[in-house]
Structure 1
């Protein structure tokens, strides 16, 4: 029979590791190059799908996945890109979620709708839908992160 005390200590260690990894994720993702290039990758993803450039799509997806830890922790977070990442971290830590019908989270629902439009249009090679959908993704993501930046007070630190 396992010792309950040792089970508790391993759970604490795992949570501690999880907390450290999460902290590292957010600190590194607050690098303005990380946040900025995440915005730029959306059109690349849609371009790759639209033009059936599968290696480019694989590279863009890989970049999206590793991006938050690819860059070093910034020396200074006194810039818009860093602030919106720190605001997102604070927003999620407060348990406010990202999608519901209340403002500002409704903006992410709209973002998702535009994402569906962009993806479906890119697959069907419909240029107007692809461009409108991609622009909508960027507009509503930008609007959402700016709204939570203001609501969390990150810009006032």
Structure 2
């Protein structure tokens, strides 16, 4: 997979971002941080809220480049990169992007429930957001055909060499 830029500084930055974000720890913790974020809102815990936002911001580059990307969590990130590089975006009325559009009211419901301290609504909204998001990522994995590879992952190696 080639970086979307010309290989200059921006290309190297993008390649580094995607390579490190393809670490299964990055993708996995990013999925799991959403319930923590909703809990912080529900409990009105400013420190947890700030820590969660900080983690969300640094998560894609927090973990090192993985040696293997032939796992489901890495494939989520690789498929998202390919999907975006192909210019398919994340919102629209076409499948699977319609899932992200449908996720907007579910997200508002989750936030409103957490803000109003409605535990059942917060739980259902949070689960709904996560299920729909994973449905979208699973769909783009299937549509892009991304499989990931082992230690000699040409996808990540090509991106690194092109960006240098």
Instruction: Determine if the alignment matches structure 1 residue 122 to structure 2 residue 104.
Output: no
Moved over 3 A (4+): none
Identify which of 32, 53, 72 aligns with 1:61. Answer: 53
How many residue pairs match? The answer is 145
Q: How far, CA to CA, are the matches of 1:68 and 1:141 in structure 2?
A: 17
Query: Which of structures 1 and 2 has the larger relative contact order (alpha carbons within 8 angstroms, sep 6+)?
Result: 2
- Per-residue deviation, 1:91: 0.1
Q: Kindly provide the CA deviation profile for residues 16-42 of structure 1, in whole angstroms up to 9, marking residues without a partner as x.
A: 111110110000000000000000000
- Per-residue deviation, 1:86: 0.1
* 8 Å CA contact retained: 2:26, 2:62: yes
Unaligned runs of 5+ in 2: 150-164
Give the greater-gyration-radius structure (CA). 1
What is the root-mean-square deviation of aligned Cα atoms in Å?
Answer: 1.6
| Length-normalised TM-score, structure 2 | 0.85
Q: Kindly provide the CA deviation profile for residues 83-125 of structure 1, in whole angstroms up to 9, marking residues without a partner as x.
A: 0100000000000000001100011112222111111111111
Q: How far, CA to CA, are the matches of 1:33 and 1:134 in structure 2?
A: 21
* 8 Å CA contact retained: 2:24, 2:74: yes
Q: How far, CA to CA, are the matches of 2:41 and 2:78 in structure 1?
A: 31
Unaligned runs of 5+ in 1: 1-11
| Length-normalised TM-score, structure 1 | 0.88
- Per-residue deviation, 1:156: 7.4
